[in-house]
Amino acid sequence: MNAAPPPLARAKKIPRRDVFIALAFLAVASALSLFASDYFELSQRILGIMAGLMVAFYANAVPKALKPLAKLKNPARYEALQRFIGWCLVLGGLGYAIVWITVPFAYVIPVGIALLGSSLALAVGRCFWVRRLP
């Protein structure tokens, strides 16, 4: 006879707001593919703008997610890093949305990815740089 599996760790509750945002995104994508299949470029632009705004929305809260002081060697440095990461990703997300509004369609994907990728690379690079500090 097999032993009973250990109880699952209590999962962190997902906020309703986040579920709603995800469902709204999927609903818009589905609606566009069903009813706007003749307007491919417009559909892609709408989804690109929504994706950029979503990145900016979630990155906005990054500086607010503070770790307990007891777990930090240098709280000021940690919080400055959180702020930097938040700013990078918010500006990257907003820039991505603006790219989808303004850039000609032939170039929008490489330009958008370059912009968002750069902001992410900057944030990650800063993390590694801070880790090397004494």
Mark residue 125 as left, alpha or beta (left: phi above 0; alpha: psi -120 to 50; beta: remaining). Answer: alpha
Residue 61 lies near another protein (rule: CB under 8 A)? yes
Binder among 42, 66, 113, 121 for another protein (CB under 8 A): 66
> How far is the C-alpha of 125 from the C-alpha of 133, rounded, in Å?
13
Are the beta carbons of 111 and 99 closer than 8 angstroms? yes
Of 2-10, 84-92, 98-106, 108-116, the segment contacting another protein by CB under 8 A is: 84-92
| DSSP reduced 3-state for 12 | coil
Of 26-34, 47-55, 83-91, 118-126, the segment contacting another protein by CB under 8 A is: 83-91
Residue 83 lies near another protein (rule: CB under 8 A)? yes
Residue 62 lies near another protein (rule: CB under 8 A)? yes
Structure letter (DSSP) for residue 37: T
The site for another protein (CB under 8 A) is made up of 59-64, 66, 68-70, 75, 79, 83, 86-87, 90
